[in-house]
């Protein structure tokens, strides 16, 4: 059975209390896990720790903690602490983000994100095991680091985000799960083959890896506003968040429209970019409309083979009441 998770827009909500209230509501509505992003608003760790204290059963995870703004050792410490704070409900999701974020906002050279992701995952897993970490590779060289506290039991799983074939293969080789975002239903299937190949390269069974797909959702009585919010959200990511999402969509058979949306957005014609999404992509990448319409569309994602969880995420333009209405309408 496919889990139903929820992805909370940490930075966009009016207060930290609003975010935690949404997580509490997600638990009451029966969601399996609540994921916290970390972009340029509130940090995810504080929100997750506060949520752990206010909830009892719902899983908690980071989606995605970028591997440049925290060292691998610190990520391991953080995961161990959040596993303790949540009584074993934590799952760490990591990923490289992109040069727009890493270089412009954190002042760190982007370099080779695949290699850095692999090294980060390996170090975090060793930290969480409680062993003394001696590690010497391209990006990180550690000697003698060890948790001063007892290691978490069980150790929290470590998932990786990935868009391209090699990044998804890497998740299959080294991580405990894969986070997929901005995929069409057909496009996801091809990347699942990459995940399986990665698992095979490391001698693992891909069925042991947790695959989580984030789906942009909006379910409102005003179905037209819901559809427009999701179209705007998709256009923003393809057009305004660097080239990674554009290129990922192009690989899924939408090369012409992906580049057109990107170029149109970059020229400042955001409404025209949204119109392109509305016509060609919205129904392939999201679930939007009235509650009944959105539930039917979300079910098409739930029914995909190879998924362990569908992550209900919300458009960046949705207000707190629209987030709550959507969360309620699409609850398990």
Tell me the chain's radius of gyration from C-alpha atoms. Answer: 19
What is the per-residue DSSP string for 10-60? Answer: GGGSS-HHHHHHHHHHHHHTT-SEEEE--SSSS-HHHHHHHHHHH-SSSEE
**Strand 65-66 versus strand 133-136 pairing type:** unpaired
pLDDT by 10-residue block (mean), the chain, 332 residues: 90 84 97 92 94 98 94 98 98 90 88 96 98 96 96 98 95 98 91 96 95 97 97 95 92 95 97 93 95 97 96 93 96 96
128 neighbors 61 (Cβ within 8 angstroms): no
Helix, strand, or coil (residue 312)? strand
In angstroms, the CA 191 to CA 205 distance is 16
Residue 10: predicted pLDDT: 65
Residue 101: predicted pLDDT: 83
Residue 241: predicted pLDDT: 87
Residue 301: predicted pLDDT: 95
Q: CB 228: neighbour CB atoms within 10 A?
A: 18
Read off the pTM. Answer: 0.94
Residue 102: predicted pLDDT: 86
């Amino acid at each position: 059975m496919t889990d139903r998770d929820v992805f909370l827009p940490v930075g966009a909500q009016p207060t930290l209390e609003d975010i935690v209230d949404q997580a509490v509501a997600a638990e009451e509505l029966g969601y399996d896990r609540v994921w916290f992003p970390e972009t340029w608003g509130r940090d995810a760790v504080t929100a997750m720790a506060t949520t752990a204290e206010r909830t009892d059963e719902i899983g908690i995870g980071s989606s995605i903690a970028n591997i440049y703004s925290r060292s691998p050792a610190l990520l391991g410490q953080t995961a161990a602490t959040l596993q303790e704070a949540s009584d074993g409900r934590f799952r760490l999701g990591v990923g490289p983000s992109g040069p727009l974020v890493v270089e412009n906002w954190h002042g760190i050279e982007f370099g080779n994100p695949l290699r850095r992701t692999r090294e980060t995952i390996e170090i975090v897993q060793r930290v969480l095991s409680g062993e003394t970490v001696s590690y010497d590779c391209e990006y990180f060289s550690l000697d003698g680091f060890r948790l001063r506290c007892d290691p978490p039991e069980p150790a929290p799983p470590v998932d990786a985000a990935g868009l391209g074939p090699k990044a998804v293969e890497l998740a299959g080789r080294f991580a405990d799960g894969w986070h997929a975002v901005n995929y069409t239903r057909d496009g996801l299937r091809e990347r699942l083959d990459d995940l399986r190949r990665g698992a095979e390269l490391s001698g693992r069974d891909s069925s042991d890896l947790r695959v989580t797909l984030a789906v942009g959702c909006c379910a409102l009585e005003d179905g037209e506003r819901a559809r427009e919010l999701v179209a705007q959200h998709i256009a923003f990511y393809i057009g305004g968040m660097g080239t990674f999402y554009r290129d990922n969509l192009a690989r899924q058979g939408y090369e012409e429209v992906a580049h057109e949306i990107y170029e149109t957005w970059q020229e400042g014609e955001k409404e025209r970019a949204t119109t392109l999404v509305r016509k060609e992509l919205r129904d392939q990448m999201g679930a939007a409309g009235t509650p009944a319409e959105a539930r039917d569309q979300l079910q098409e994602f739930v029914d995909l083979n190879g998924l362990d969880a569908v992550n209900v995420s919300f458009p960046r333009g949705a207000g707190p009441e629209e987030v709550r209405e959507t969360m309620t309408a699409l609850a398990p």
